[in-house]
Amino acid sequence: MLDTAAAVAAPKSVLHDHLDGGLRVDTILQLADEIGWSLPHTDPDELQSWFTAGANTLDLLQYLATFEHTLAVMQTVEHIERVAYEAVTDLADDGVVYAEIRFAPELHQEQGLPLDVIVSAVTDGFRRAEHDAARRGREIHAFAILCAMRTEHRSLEIAQLVDTMRERDDKVVAFDLAGAETGFPPSLHAEALAFARERLLNVTIHASEPPDLELISDALVHGAHRIGHGVRLQADLDIRDGEIVAMGPLASYVLDRQIPLEVAPTCHVHVGAVPDLASHPIGPMLRAGFDVSVNTDNRLMSDVMPSSELAAVANTFDLSDDEVHRLCRNGIMAGFASLDLRKRLAAQVG
């Protein structure tokens, strides 16, 4: 049994965490009041319940609709920097030592902010939070993944932004494709992904929505180094009594190549990818040697933290201490920051 205190104390990573999906409820209320934005509720508990209910619809598109309200309060440099600061602060207090937080710069331009200014606001918030966490005796290293919305036509522009920003800001580490997936495969953004390969950018791609395996395969063909979610890989697995007894060619490829899977179990229940946590493939996949890590996706919508997700997985699948440690190390070592940093942080586990 992994209790809350032990889960918080464990040095952890989060690789798949959306900035606009992790705001504090009190911050949303305050910023919405400042800008005159109408929210579904003004009571903090009721608003939290509204976000969680919106996430738990078994429908990804309805889930994504809740972001209208978080994005509305993230359209100025001051507000973006504050949200970034609070995200890293909250993760540090939860025992996270390595964080990659992603966001789509193009979604923060309603007031005309330049893309590079948006990115700098985020990374400024990260640095300030790291500094303040260190003063409290907590070490955390936070990095940014820039997302292009796969329903739009700006993916090459965002890939070029990653390339430009990483030269002047070492907090920018990777490129991602995010948003609605069905009908928008990575191949629609082949030019951006070819640019990313040519420029040696780190790439992770969301691939979770359709019931088949095409999105995961398409992401790998176009150069993804990691797979966002990847829960649909279960369609290529034969799991019996909690053990993988056979697997198809794609699952075998992912296992043999040790391609990291950014798994967010509670989110996968909420969007209907699995009926409940006990049905999730993360336990069998970990024991079969897949490079899986535990992630939050959207802390606000799913009402989770890295420690609560780690404890839920550990207790649902009766993981040993060694297996919990392996989950923690997997996440840190799959990061896109320098190998020296990742090795040092991973050595703190167990």
Classify residue 304 by its DSSP letter: -
Torsion of CA 149, 81, 94, 275, to 10 degrees: -20
In the chain, the number of structural domains is 1
Summarised one tens digit per residue, pLDDT across range 227-247 is 999 999 999 999 999 999 999
The whole-number pLDDT of residue 210 equals 64
Summarised one tens digit per residue, pLDDT across range 299-350 is 999 999 999 999 999 999 999 999 999 999 999 999 999 999 999 999 999 8
CATH number of the domain at 305, please: 3.20.20.140
Q: What is the pLDDT confidence band of residue 65, given thresholds at 50, 70 and 90?
A: confident
Which whole-number Å values give the CA distances from 190 to 64, 104, 222, 268, in the listed order? 24, 18, 7, 27
Which whole-number Å values give the CA distances from 252 to 134, 203, 288, 312, in the listed order? 42, 21, 11, 27
CA distance linking residue 67 with residue 82, whole number of Å:
17
The whole-number pLDDT of residue 211 equals 66
Instruction: List the one residue out of 64, 99, 66 whose CA is nearest residue 84.
Output: 99
Mean pLDDT for the stretch of residues 121-145? 99
Give the residue numbers spanning the domain of 261. Answer: 4-346
The residues that bridge with 221 in the sheet, in sequence order, are none
Instruction: List the one residue out of 87, 81, 82, 50 whose CA is nearest residue 66.
Output: 50
Catalytic-labelled residue, pool 81, 100, 106, 209:
209
CA distance linking residue 203 with residue 29, whole number of Å:
34
139 is catalytic: no
Q: Tokens representing 80? A: 């973006």
